[in-house]
Structure 1
Amino acid sequence: MNTSEPTIDRKVAAAVVAVLLAVAPAACKQAEAIEQEHYQASKITPAKDGSGHPTVTLTKLGAEQISLKTVPIEKNRIPYAAILYDAKAGQPYVFVNTKGLSFHREDVTIEKVDGDMVDLSDGPPNGTPVVTVGVPQIHGAELEFGAY
Structure 2
Amino acid sequence: MKNILALFAFILIAATAQSQSLTQADVTGTWLVVNVENNSSNPKLAAAMQHAVINLYADNSFEIKERQQSGANYIYSTTSHKNATWNFNPGTQTITTNRANMTFKISKTGDKVFFTDQQSGLKFEVNKPI
Output the TM-score relative to the length of structure 1: 0.27
If each structure's strand is expressed as a fraction of its own residues, which one has the higher value?
Answer: 2
Output the TM-score relative to the length of structure 2: 0.30
Q: Which is greater in Rg? A: 1
